[in-house]
Structure 1
Amino acid sequence: MREALWSKNFILLMGSNLLLFMALEMLLPTLPVFAAEQGGSQTQIGLIMGLFTFTAVISRLGTGYGIKRLGQKKLLLLGVAISLIALTGYYLAATLAVLLVLRVVHGVGFGIATTLFGTAASDLVPASRRGEGMGFFATGNSISFALGPFFGIWIMTEYGFKALFLIGAVVMLLSLISTCFVRFPRVEKKAPAAAAPVAETGSWMDSVVERKAFMPSLLGLLIGIPFGTVLSFIALFGKEQGLGSVGIFFLVVAISEFLIRFISGPLFDRKGRMWVLLPAAILCIIASVMLYFTHSTAMLLLSGLFYGFGFGALFPALQAWVIDLVEPERRGVATATYYNAFDVGIGSGSILLGAVAAVTNYSTMYLLSGGFFILYIVLYVGFERRLRRKASSKSMQA
């Protein structure tokens, strides 16, 4: 008999996680517009958006120590509460300096909360259905990415920033309340003799970084850079071009991301990673070029379709590659390595390419962002060629 998956605690936790991401996604395309109206330059806007990601990555490194001191639930509640404080602060923010501080605070809370939500979910689902359960848990992120930016831009346009920040704070408050009602299972600690070899003999770095995941994580960083510009500047790009319905862009991206996975996943399994990782990058390059030539809403949505197809295939394929490279007991560290690299890419893209937009324009910025996908292709093809040369030399020696 199959173990039950949809427990009350799992549903509450999944809902809390969805609300956390919903509050974030509502702000990603709208906060840059708010900063611009406060007099922020493209460079300052990029810094405001990028610092959030970097502080989230840094805060994740201390969650292991925090769990030992406070326990999972208290630390998770702390992370959500910090995020709520930041959301409430946006409503009162009057200067760019205050906004910058609030982004750092929000990044700390978000980094703690996302780490603990994932850890708690893996503890709540039955071991026999962990893959299925974590897959359902991750759909909350996809739903929030599809709906958050759409509703955020709509609220900003129809009711203004005060209403946007107030609704965001209410959404975060609901996440906090829902989390309070989750009962965390007791996780038995392993005896020291049964600890993993890395914990006994490895360095601190080995506990937070998986070296075997270096190449797919590096590629994840590269695709994160242009993706950061899409998240941070697409609403400002729409204003620059005089386009309406920019929020629908994110809806198109999310739908196409979902649809392409019915093709890219089986293709990855049957043909191998190259059959996904190369064509998907080419689709993203096409999308970047299309954004450069975008002067109509129809062209914007078409570029979103290509971007969703490309990125929707790239991101899970790289993650699957990461999992294939490591032993089962190292999958958690390997996945964290990949996600952190991707988040660093998003933060770097917001800052570096935001500076490019400051001296050119958003259209040129998106065209140049396609160069990171080209660099991705060069590095990946070179890596695969080296692997093939090594394999052929070994076969000749045998």
Structure 2
Amino acid sequence: MEQKLILINIINLLIFFSFQMLLPTLPIYVKELGGNNSIIGLVTGIFVVSSVIIRPISGLLLDKLGRQKVFVVGLIIFILSVLSYSIFSVIGVILFIRFIHGFSWGAVSTGSSTIASDNIPQKRFGEGMGYFSLTSSLAMALAPVIGLSLISRYGSDTLFYVSALLVTLGFAVTFKLKYKDTTPAENSQKTKGSLYEKSSINPSIIIFFVSITYGTLTSFLPLYADKQGIVNIGMFFTVYAIALFITRPFFGKIIDTLGFDFAIIPGLILVVIAMGLLSIASSLNIFLITAFIYGVGFGATQSSLQTMAMAGVPSSRLGAANATFLTAFDSGIGLGSIILGVVSSSIGYSQMYLWAAASAMIAFVIYFMIGRKKQVQLLE
């Protein structure tokens, strides 16, 4: 693996570690401040709304202004946002900070995946994206557990300081990167002002419905487990991420050789099964079995659909392609958190996860209608 790809992987790991530490802990923090389930869903949802707003803009800027400017500015705002959580403890202000934080996350995560895409060999693109995804998987394995431990033992301030420090370290590494910027010739008049990449829309629609299931996990799983009398629920995220870590490179090789069907179809089936199991989970063992099934299914589906969204896209449009896909991904998480947060307040967490299973089934149907591709198209 080339040095520049290793560096962006390190940066992505640090960014995702910070991000994942806050996912299961911010709902707890807001709950302590007096927020109900609807407010907790809004905390996740408003973050995603702002990231959805900025992603297509940041994708266009990555292609037009270059990778470095957008990436560095996004990281600075990210650091300031996380530090602000420790300063303000009013729900209304937290919601505003979360909105600004979402802007930075949209720019930074779009930037990191675009920079990685620039540096992955064309003929091993599926495999390369699988390895890039391992950084986020490793963060998912460790960060939620560490975040939950920090907030329970040392309080929210320590949690936010550690989270900000991780992004600061990632920011320091950015100055070692060499960025591949598009040239004026590549930025033709034809693509000028185009916020979305048309060839990436179909896989993006599918990931929208899949990511609704992920939104219910990040927003409500710790609260659901607590209601069920389950302790050490942080292990769920560890098992989930281990499953991602094991299977993502494997499925990357599969789509490079056999096509997308062999990864996405079984992946979607496993996501449906996992949501169904979660709706009846009553012990830690069932939660952990569900975590592994979901990890394999989501890992196969998410990384394969992202590869599909970027396959065949010229380098001058990779920013827009990543933005298109990640906008849909974030939209699913945000809407899932908001809508299913209201649902859970009315019918409970168990029934809510059945709704999430239905969302994955919709994704399965849509894949057969508009999403299928037999081969990975190499990047031009």
Instruction: Place the TM-score, normalised by the shorter chain, in its bin.
Output: 0.7 to 0.9
Q: Find the aligned partners of 1:333 and 1:326 in 2 and give their Cα distance.
A: 9
Match of 2:361 among 354, 366, 374: 374
Letter in 2 for 1:365: M
Q: Find the aligned partners of 2:198 and 2:155 in 1 and give their Cα distance.
A: 46
Q: Secondary structure at the match of 2:3?
A: coil
Q: In the TM superposition, what whole-angstrom CA distance separates every residue of 1:339-372 from its partner, at most 9, and x where no partner exists?
A: 2211111111111111111112222211221010
Q: 2:3 is matched with which residue? A: 6
Would you say 1:157 and 2:152 are equivalent positions? yes
- Post-superposition shift, 1:184? 3.9
Aligned 1:183-194 pairs, distance under 5 A: 184-185=178-179, 187=181, 189-191=183-185
- Relative to the length of structure 2, the TM-score reads 0.86
Match of 1:361 among 339, 348, 355: 348
Letter in 1 for 2:135: G
Letter in 2 for 1:253: Y
Would you say 1:56 and 2:45 are equivalent positions? no
Q: 1:42 is matched with which residue? A: 37
Match of 1:291 among 257, 264, 278: 278
Q: In the TM superposition, what whole-angstrom CA distance separates every residue of 1:180-235 from its partner, at most 9, and x where no partner exists?
A: x33545747244xxx46xx323563xx32222333221111000111111122111
Residue 214 of structure 2 contacts residue 333 of structure 2 at CA under 8 Å; is this kept in 1? yes
Letter in 2 for 1:26: M
Match of 1:240 among 219, 224, 227: 227
Structure 1 residues 269 and 140: CA distance shift in structure 2, 3 A:
closer
Percent identity, please: 34
Would you say 1:200 and 2:195 are equivalent positions? no
Would you say 1:83 and 2:78 are equivalent positions? yes
Residue 122 of structure 1 contacts residue 130 of structure 1 at CA under 8 Å; is this kept in 2? no
Residue 50 of structure 1 contacts residue 350 of structure 1 at CA under 8 Å; is this kept in 2? yes
Q: 2:170 is matched with which residue? A: 175
- Post-superposition shift, 1:68? 9.0
Residue 82 of structure 2 contacts residue 164 of structure 2 at CA under 8 Å; is this kept in 1? yes
Q: 2:378 is matched with which residue? A: none
Aligned 1:1-398 pairs, distance under 5 A: 5-6=2-3, 11-63=6-58, 72-121=67-116, 125=119, 131=125, 136-179=131-174, 181-182=175-176, 184-185=178-179, 187=181, 189-191=183-185, 195=186, 199-202=188-191, 204=193, 207-261=194-248, 264-265=251-252, 267-268=254-255, 272-324=259-311, 330=317, 332-383=319-370
Q: Find the aligned partners of 2:368 and 2:34 in 1 and give their Cα distance.
A: 43
Q: In the TM superposition, what whole-angstrom CA distance separates every residue of 1:310-332 from its partner, at most 9, and x where no partner exists?
A: 11111122233334565676555
Structure 1 residues 86 and 218: CA distance shift in structure 2, 3 A:
same
Q: Find the aligned partners of 2:324 and 2:59 in 1 and give their Cα distance.
A: 15
Structure 1 residues 339 and 63: CA distance shift in structure 2, 3 A:
closer
Residue 48 of structure 2 contacts residue 331 of structure 2 at CA under 8 Å; is this kept in 1? yes
Letter in 1 for 2:103: V
Structure 1 residues 335 and 288: CA distance shift in structure 2, 3 A:
same
Cα RMSD (Å): 3.1
Q: Find the aligned partners of 1:70 and 1:368 in 2 and give their Cα distance.
A: 42
Q: Find the aligned partners of 1:214 and 1:129 in 2 and give their Cα distance.
A: 23
- Relative to the length of structure 1, the TM-score reads 0.83
Structure 1 residues 263 and 104: CA distance shift in structure 2, 3 A:
same
Q: In the TM superposition, what whole-angstrom CA distance separates every residue of 1:290-310 from its partner, at most 9, and x where no partner exists?
A: 111111111110111111121
- Post-superposition shift, 1:31? 0.5
- Post-superposition shift, 1:336? 2.9
Larger mean Cα displacement after TM superposition, 145-154 or 157-166? 157-166
Residue 23 of structure 1 contacts residue 169 of structure 1 at CA under 8 Å; is this kept in 2? yes
Instruction: Please say which structure displays the higher CA radius of gyration.
Output: 1
Structure 1 residues 257 and 134: CA distance shift in structure 2, 3 A:
closer
Letter in 1 for 2:35: G
| Structure 1 unaligned blocks of 5 or more | 388-398
Q: Find the aligned partners of 1:154 and 1:223 in 2 and give their Cα distance.
A: 29
Q: Find the aligned partners of 2:354 and 2:197 in 1 and give their Cα distance.
A: 33
Aligned length: 373
Return the structure number with greater relative CO, CA threshold 8 A, min gap 6: 2
Structure 1 residues 23 and 267: CA distance shift in structure 2, 3 A:
closer
Q: In the TM superposition, what whole-angstrom CA distance separates every residue of 1:49-91 from its partner, at most 9, and x where no partner exists?
A: 1111221122233336756998644443321111111111111
Q: Secondary structure at the match of 1:314?
A: helix
Q: In the TM superposition, what whole-angstrom CA distance separates every residue of 1:113-134 from its partner, at most 9, and x where no partner exists?
A: 22333444456x4868984766
